[in-house]
Structure 1
């Protein structure tokens, strides 16, 4: 019971004098008063106050408490209560003045975060206070404690009522980067206008300052993505890369996790920091952690979220919607990252909670776009699972007859999906084109002797051709596709460019295709990849040099051979991205063998000094960046 409540007069505090039977004068009985401890608890106290004799009440004696009577206790408590009331009034006045002065500081609705154990709520409260913004956890030892290494129990308190957060815009600093309020607002506007439409899972009505109050990592993740193309501060992304990465690993070391941590991973996996080597890119690993953290928190069972915490938890409609959208985005990003890396996906696409969302009529346009993106990624996951489910095959491919039947069924499902999405946004239509390319890319893994092989390769070529044309059209619009698209969109674009390069330069198919228009489209693809490049010598820039290298060769059949049988891929275990890895192997093999063969010849000397070749030799290490 609170010590602030004023204790009532304790029964028996004073005794009435009793008459003497013998007519003797009234004897003054010892005066009884409650000690401080009993007063606080409003309990009966048997302490006898006597100036001459020091005594202790039975309750304090039993509980080994300090039993004393403080005459200033009541006055001290009143002063403390008055001081707290003054502070509360002062705080309310400040909030009211802030709300009236700046509409940006007013909260339209509260920042609702999923309930977590009490130690996490305390950590969040300390982190969001103005006097402590240095660390992501309250106590590093406590927050990083591994279950099972201590026998000390952690008792959770009942969940405190959720309150609205009034976030006052302030300058923020991380490492050697300090941003003003105006710069922060500009970056957030860039994110909402240009990046948010590709994965609209955050609430645009929540200000960037409110996101900072709930998660410092999420705040800086949004800022980092918006800084990718910031013309007024071209070095901001490089400055943020190390600091935000350090903050990410520091946050992941502190457990338990929050919804905002999962949302931060979604953003950083969709637009990762630029790197020159795929082997140094942690995106695939972070995508797996993202799904595992979401599952551990119970995002996949939002209706039964209380099963995953130790305190009573009842999600509001807003919170439930946020959990569902975050879990949908987890699966979208995990599947997209796995396709781009050519690796299996660690996702739960057959999750019951992904099929119980409200009808589309009750959803916003962004919610509908996110739901369509999820359906498309579910289809891509089904393609990979269906075509690589044979445990008897070294690469997991099903038998030839079964694969042909699956091609027909999957193509029919994709046509139905495209028919439903006829009125969707250009971004959704692009995701459908990427799904079609993912399915048709498996045609390259067939044997040339299989019925209809050449027809399927032509269809694959046309699919890749259409996807690149669609991307060029989207970039010509105000949206600027190549500047703002997610990283997995770049990976699909690279795959389409290598498909056109390999098929068009094959001796058999060059007679069936329009090679002139294909070369022209490849030139546009190379320029587009350089447009996607965010930093010097990053993956889009280096891969554009590899494609340009093959386009300048005097013998165009180096990459794909003369006959239809030469189109067979050497790399067969990277799913639909096998074409990219196979082409890089061919580039590496050709570059090394050609250099060793002509090293001491005059022809080689002329070749190495030619202008076109000298530029491309800057990519000598590019062949190793994907391995």
Structure 2
């Protein structure tokens, strides 16, 4: 190179264009593309509009001082505008009301005689102009939208490390317009783990609400919703949460992939669904199917091979493995109960994960309070597949010749299961065990009345019904009576038990049972179902009224002393496609036909519940004293619509009354039943909308000419 005179110049000439190229400014995107962080093909010299702005007809320009606007800031600004608009509307309404009041006063001065005895009701606006959510929130518990917007605008200090929104010294959680402060969150979590969690014990009580929120906001709000079912400090909180949490469910399910903690939330929602007034608007069975599908999509049924269901590297942690096994077991338990209660085929999968020996891997060992309940639901699945999965029958029912033998074998299996669980059987597990036996013997309504063992099958059904209802009505744990906190499945089986007593006591079979005991048990069942109701006009409240009216309209029971009572077809069902729950749907269908024919006003009956002992066609007596808000079912001064029920003591937390009257600061009022309020009635088609449209006449099935049996 030294001998080449042009080599140095060549290197210098080559370097100069590269330095000039580096000094050239980077091409800028237009404002619209920069806002969206998109690739832009704008040309500055000569200026040519980018293809995106041309397509969307946007103003394409480049400004050196342009800065992107964050979506959170924009949303906060929109919320602030909404608050201002609401304030203006409130002020306008207040001014209009003030003008009306002044005009009324002027008229009263002109013609005072015409205003005597009249009262003027003037709406009072909030002096601060703060919009309040429609849930009866008190000022010390909740916060207005203005303060929420102010916190949202301060993005650096609006949220702390626990995902709580701060307002000065106060913290709260928020979902849409519903805001719950930290103290209420702790209280509702304590309520959930004290009264509800024992029925489905798979969550970790040691975790804080913050940890649950971090794992899944849906799981957090689901726990809050379940805890609010009987939260008498704010009775409106449950209804306020229903719509926002439901929307959160669907938005979460639409966001793929999900966390397996979402599956836990679905388990709780399927166990304690939001109250509804019609089965046609109940999404529980659909959510149950999605729960199982999401669980399998995440690989919960193969927890030790989670890598096969993820494109990312999965590190197997033993604590998480045990949690997934437990969650998968609870998924199948919930899915089986939902299927049994709704009279549908189950979507369960009792695979190796739930059937493997404990010696194989200790991480697959289920807790002592979950494994027995899983065995019970496996038995329920066996009943369903044995009796209601006949491919040769249009409705899947086993043939009459086979069913008697199958029932005999299943009864032996139940006895063996009862012996197996006897040593570790708590009151809740025993209740589920009695429910499985009722599920088994409800098939007696499908039997042929001419069969030799027809009476024996009905007697076994009556015994199973009485055992289950007694276990439910006397259900008590270390915190006291907890029937009002039971899952929806228990209510569904209690409803089936109530309709069973109704049918048996109003048929020829009444001569073979203790009618007074059955009548008393039926009354107590109606009382309990009304006590389970958590909202005005929900299904427990409606169907308890149906039970009471059908008893009163079903005729006089046949006395036990009557001899030579002939077997008839009065117990045959017309609805036969809902497995063991066919009895419930059949009874409700008959009631709807009868109510529509006679034009009964169900609104009046719900305001004044029917007394099944009354022979009068009117509703319950209006002269009886109303229930106090603190009354407990079964005590003096209770519901006047039913015969007296045995006293049911209020739930006791086992602590002296001087110590906060509860656990963890829980108020003493939450331990009682929520009292039904009959002030409001939904005028929609009020029960099991469009249940069945039969292509044949009402009397096409034998035994239906007798009306409501």
Please report the TM-score for the alignment, with normalisation by the length of structure 1.
Answer: 0.69
SS at match of 2:201: coil
Unaligned runs of 5+ in 1: 1-19, 22-28, 31-47, 69-129, 135-164, 597-606
Distance in 1 between residues matched to 2:290 and 2:74, nearest whole Å: 28
Contact 1:174 1:243 in 2 (8 A): yes
Q: Measure how far apart 1:624 and its partner are.
A: 4.0
Aligned partner of 1:578 among 579, 582, 591: 582
Task: Summarize the alignment of residues 15-30 of structure 1 with structure 2, pairs less than 5 Å apart.
Answer: none
Distance in 2 between residues matched to 1:197 and 1:450, nearest whole Å: 43
Q: Is the counterpart of residue 566 in structure 1 residue 574 in structure 2? A: no
1:525–1:312 distance in 2 versus 1, CA, 3 Å: same
Give RMSD over aligned pairs.
Answer: 3.7
Which residue in 2 is equivalent to 1:54?
A: 16
Which residue in 2 is equivalent to 1:218?
A: 219
Q: Measure how far apart 1:172 and its partner are.
A: 0.6
Q: Measure how far apart 1:389 and its partner are.
A: 2.5
Which residue in 1 is equivalent to 2:198?
A: 197
Contact 1:434 1:492 in 2 (8 A): yes
Which residue in 1 is equivalent to 2:412?
A: 412
Contact 2:388 2:397 in 1 (8 A): yes
Q: Measure how far apart 1:362 and its partner are.
A: 6.9
1:557–1:54 distance in 2 versus 1, CA, 3 Å: farther
Distance in 1 between residues matched to 2:453 and 2:299, nearest whole Å: 47
Q: Is the counterpart of residue 295 in structure 1 residue 296 in structure 2? A: yes
1:131–1:255 distance in 2 versus 1, CA, 3 Å: farther
SS at match of 2:174: strand
Distance in 2 between residues matched to 1:573 and 1:611, nearest whole Å: 34
Which residue in 2 is equivalent to 1:73?
A: none
Which residue in 1 is equivalent to 2:67?
A: none
1:65–1:480 distance in 2 versus 1, CA, 3 Å: farther
1:530–1:625 distance in 2 versus 1, CA, 3 Å: farther
Q: Measure how far apart 1:338 and its partner are.
A: 1.1
Q: Is the counterpart of residue 311 in structure 1 residue 315 in structure 2? A: no
Distance in 2 between residues matched to 1:365 and 1:205, nearest whole Å: 20
Distance in 1 between residues matched to 2:477 and 2:198, nearest whole Å: 17
Distance in 1 between residues matched to 2:500 and 2:250, nearest whole Å: 37
Which residue in 2 is equivalent to 1:279?
A: 280
Q: Is the counterpart of residue 398 in structure 1 residue 398 in structure 2? A: yes
Aligned partner of 2:592 among 581, 588, 592: 588
Distance in 1 between residues matched to 2:300 and 2:236, nearest whole Å: 37
Residue by residue over 1:313-346, the C-alpha shift from the partner in whole angstroms, topping out at 9 and shown as x without a partner, is: 1321111111111111111111111111111112
Which residue in 1 is equivalent to 2:367?
A: 367
Task: Summarize the alignment of residues 486-501 of structure 1 with structure 2, pairs less than 5 Å apart.
Answer: 486-501=487-502
Residue by residue over 1:175-204, the C-alpha shift from the partner in whole angstroms, topping out at 9 and shown as x without a partner, is: 221111111111111111111111111111
Contact 2:358 2:365 in 1 (8 A): no
Distance in 1 between residues matched to 2:566 and 2:597, nearest whole Å: 19
Distance in 1 between residues matched to 2:598 and 2:174, nearest whole Å: 52
Q: Measure how far apart 1:564 and its partner are.
A: 3.4
Q: Is the counterpart of residue 610 in structure 1 residue 601 in structure 2? A: no
Q: Measure how far apart 1:622 and its partner are.
A: 4.6
Contact 1:335 1:347 in 2 (8 A): yes
Residue by residue over 1:77-106, the C-alpha shift from the partner in whole angstroms, topping out at 9 and shown as x without a partner, is: xxxxxxxxxxxxxxxxxxxxxxxxxxxxxx
Which residue in 2 is equivalent to 1:270?
A: 271
Q: Which moved more, 1:235-244 or 1:614-623?
A: 614-623
Task: Summarize the alignment of residues 231-380 of structure 1 with structure 2, pairs less than 5 Å apart.
Answer: 231-349=232-350, 351-356=351-356, 358=358, 367-380=367-380
Which residue in 1 is equivalent to 2:542?
A: 542
Q: Measure how far apart 1:553 and its partner are.
A: 2.6
1:218–1:440 distance in 2 versus 1, CA, 3 Å: same
Distance in 2 between residues matched to 1:609 and 1:400, nearest whole Å: 40
Q: Measure how far apart 1:551 and its partner are.
A: 2.3
Which residue in 2 is equivalent to 1:141?
A: none
Contact 2:510 2:557 in 1 (8 A): no
Which residue in 2 is equivalent to 1:526?
A: 526
Distance in 2 between residues matched to 1:412 and 1:609, nearest whole Å: 46
SS at match of 2:239: helix
Aligned length: 477
Which residue in 2 is equivalent to 1:381?
A: 381
1:312–1:364 distance in 2 versus 1, CA, 3 Å: closer
Which residue in 2 is equivalent to 1:172?
A: 173
Q: Measure how far apart 1:528 and its partner are.
A: 0.3
Distance in 2 between residues matched to 1:243 and 1:276, nearest whole Å: 18
SS at match of 1:565: coil
1:313–1:580 distance in 2 versus 1, CA, 3 Å: same
Residue by residue over 1:443-474, the C-alpha shift from the partner in whole angstroms, topping out at 9 and shown as x without a partner, is: 11111122311111011011111111111111
Q: Measure how far apart 1:590 and its partner are.
A: 2.9
Q: Measure how far apart 1:592 and its partner are.
A: 3.6
Contact 2:358 2:364 in 1 (8 A): no
Distance in 1 between residues matched to 2:490 and 2:690, nearest whole Å: 17
1:447–1:612 distance in 2 versus 1, CA, 3 Å: same
Distance in 2 between residues matched to 1:337 and 1:548, nearest whole Å: 26
Contact 1:542 1:619 in 2 (8 A): no
Which residue in 2 is equivalent to 1:602?
A: none
1:173–1:565 distance in 2 versus 1, CA, 3 Å: same
Query: Could you say which structure has the higher helix fraction?
Result: 1
Which residue in 2 is equivalent to 1:427?
A: 428
1:609–1:416 distance in 2 versus 1, CA, 3 Å: closer
Distance in 1 between residues matched to 2:621 and 2:589, nearest whole Å: 19
1:624–1:261 distance in 2 versus 1, CA, 3 Å: closer
